[in-house]
Chains A and B, each alone.
Chain A
Amino acid sequence: MATLTLPVEEKKKGTEQEALITGAEAIAIACKLANVDVVTAYPIRPYDTVMQYISQLVADGEMDCEYIVAEGEHSQFEIVKHASVCGARVFCGSSGVGWMYAMEALTVTPALRIPLIAMVGNRALDDPGAFGVEHNDALAVRDLGWMLTWVDSAQEALDTALIAYRVAEDRRMFVPLAISCDGAFLTHSQALVKIPTAEQVKKFLPAYNRGDLLLHPDNVISVAPQVNEDWVMEIRRQNFAVTEIACDVIREVYAEFEKTFGRKYGNPFFEEYMTEDAEVVLLGMGTLSTPVKVAIRKMREQGKKVGFVRLRWFRPFAGKEIGKCLERFKAIGVLDRDFSFGSPDLSGVVATEVRSAMYSNSKTRPPVIGFIGGLGGREVTVPDVESMTDIVFQAAQGKAQPLTQWIGLRG
């Protein structure tokens, strides 16, 4: 049973507060601040702690929403889908095979232009069972029109949830957005988080306005009639148009966020760590940033010029920016906490995307070594990072390396 450690004391209301909370709790608080209208829950670890917190917020009268516990993930996502079409701001989430159980609903949500915000507590897919983090769950929707972002701290989780509503509910967008939080490492780990005030959030986040797409007796429309080959291609093209402007909208919203809350994220799409003079870099998503940064500091002391690029947004994939960023390094190592069996070079999903982005956007062709590791919640250790970096340096020196390597594997 989760207990809420909300810090807001009566006397201090109206000013930003700091609290020691988990990633899941941070997102629950963001939902409260965003005045979310309909929330649907269904239990699966590790995402479900967010729903425990929200349930407590509702019971305590801190949050006014319809809180519905569904009978499965498919219903969970279908309920909020319809609630959103009728004008409500909605929140939902899942993990691992739960997310896959909802797959049909996940598929239709972007096509219906629904700004659903979901939290994915990343978890390994069955079988065999494992609670720990793997990114294949969220990545399963990467081609369907969902926006996908990975965060690595509770603060970033809270901030990104607020940013997510503003981006998704922008009338130019109207597509769902999933915030990925690594299971356990982020969902259940506490950190100090600055909690903005409701007034600040209200200023930053306008009310959800479904406009002429609202399903209501005052607006008699038929949503998603049968189109067949006559029109389906044109409608797909409209969805595609969202992806053409998504990066611009995200940039705008981050700028607004900085103006309102004073926290800077710089480039929204990826974080660069000690890359300025780096010869090689590692690239990855989520909480593996912690061991990677520790290892990099250690290696820097030994004179190794290595940096790190943490990808925040996977969809849209900022191909131009990534390609331009990475072209200056002699070799790149991509750490995938996922697999993509049978893919080109048998690499993980992120490595394959990075190679693709560089092919069209980079002036140089440095080797991109794919690493697969940290699956099922296994820790990526500092020695793991060191040995990967050594391999990337070898590649930078022109010594051919296998393009995909599994790390941290038991013999």
Chain B
Amino acid sequence: MSTFVDEKPTQELEAFKGVKKVPHEEYYTSGHRTCQGCESAQIMKLMAKAAGPRTIILGSTGCMYVANTSYYATPWGVPWMHTQLGSSGSAALGAAASLRVQMRKGVMKDEPINVIAFCGDGGGADMGLGAISATMCHPDYNLLILMYDNESYANTDIQISGTSPYGVNTSFSTPGKVKRIMNHRWKKNMAPLMLVGHPTVKYVGTISTSYPLQAMNSVRKALSVGGPTFIHCLNPCPKGWDFDPVLSFELGELAVNTGIWPLYEVENGKLKLYGKTEQIASGRFKRLPVRDYLLKQGRFAHFIEEDIDYFQSKIDDMWNKWLVPGIIPLQKDIETE
């Protein structure tokens, strides 16, 4: 009677076949007070819509808590709970374990209930990384961690996080008289980190709110495949990135078209590239220069030519030198003795 992994059935959410097939029901509605052009709020809406009503959502501290969920004005049409900044992993694990044991003991109706914990880049890639990593090692619990990434601590006045881009101007990395570049860190490669570091994870994906259908279907697949899953979503932020809110959608597209933000998923070890990312990888689309993306944003206004060149060279390396272009940063050439 040995059970290697004690799996529970999931809801088996089929992919939406097109925008016209997407249901009208919203589970993230009015009541939030996020900024104009906020793409992080957009992924909340898409995520809740994709998951549907039999869902519990746990939200770590960040914009999507503080600006999103005010007393007496909650936008959530599914049960929602605040969790601490570094606790998205633990929150999802605790909720999933609780449902499982109560269903087993017969004190709660036995049915698949989606458990989603979301976190920002600060909560996920920085403070909560350990807890998420631990949760990714528990194959018996069905849950999704969704990290919305606006590339800064955007709720606390825009400070650099582990996923902020190189050289970015934030309130903790302001250019000065002597130092033009205060952030020398390169963006943390979160989805592959979750994938490669946790071999039993069945689904990891990257999404962008500029591609809403793929974003929703990624959430649906992550909730259906079973076990712990992880999605990393890039969310342009007008306030933090310093651009006109009308450009939110376009910047999301440019991040993909410049090759900075590859869109892909890995399901049961099988890699699938999406849209322009797939075309870039197969040589059918020539990556746009990163300058087209960088110069539309005030946070890079202090960049001089050599900074743009450096940024471009790093993106070129990603596509030309990496073992899995855009994803896994091992060199293609493997040394043998």
Contacts and interface: CB of A to CB of B under 8 A. Distances in A.
Contact of B113 (A65, A82, A217, A223): A217
A2 interface: no
Interface string A74-108: 11001111111111100000000000000011001
Nearest to A82: B94
A230 B97 contact: no
Interface string A217-238: 1011111111100110000000
A82 B90 contact: yes
Interface residues of B, number: 46
B200 interface: no
A69 to B, nearest CB: 9
Given A75-B87, A86-B94, A226-B69, A217 B133 contact: no
A220 B56 CA distance: 9
A72 B97 CA distance: 17
A78 B98 contact: no
A215 interface: yes
Interface string B49-64: 0000111101000000
Interface string A184-227: 00000000000000000000000100000001110111111111
B99 A37 contact: no
Nearest to A66: B97
Interface string B71-84: 10110111111111
A71 B81 contact: no
Contacts of A75: 87, 89-90, 93, 130-131, 134
Contacts of A105: 84, 87
Interface in B127-145: 130-131, 133-134, 138
A35 B74 CA distance: 35
A70 interface: yes
A252 interface: no
A38 interface: yes
Contacts of B54: 217
Q: Which of B55, B77, B79, B84 has the most CB of A within 10 A?
A: B79
A258 interface: no
B80 A223 contact: yes
A231 B82 CA distance: 16
B138 A68 contact: yes
B94 A83 contact: yes
Interface of B is mostly: mixed
Interface of A is mostly: mixed
B56 to A, nearest CB: 6
B220 interface: no
B101 A65 contact: yes
B70 interface: yes
Nearest to A38: B97
A222 B105 contact: no
B158 interface: no
A75 B94 CA distance: 9
Interface in A2-42: 35, 37-38
Given A71-B131, A222-B69, A226-B70, A217 B105 contact: no
A353 interface: no
B102 interface: yes
A43 to B, nearest CB: 14
B10 to A, nearest CB: 15
Contacts of B98: 37-38, 66, 82-88
B259 to A, nearest CB: 34
A38 B95 CA distance: 10
A88 B102 contact: yes
A217 B56 contact: yes
Nearest to B68: A226
A78 B85 CA distance: 11
B7 to A, nearest CB: 15
Contacts of A72: 130-131
Contacts of B92: 82
A78 B105 CA distance: 23
A247 to B, nearest CB: 31
A70 B78 contact: no
Interface of A: 35, 37-38, 64-66, 68, 70-72, 74-75, 78-88, 104-105, 108, 207, 215-217, 219-227, 230-231
11 contacts: A37-B101, A38-B94, A38-B97, A65-B101, A84-B94, A86-B94, A87-B98, A216-B56, A217-B79, A225-B71, A230-B71
Interface of B: 53-56, 58, 65-66, 69-71, 73-74, 76-84, 86-87, 89-95, 97-102, 104-105, 107-108, 113, 130-131, 133-134, 138
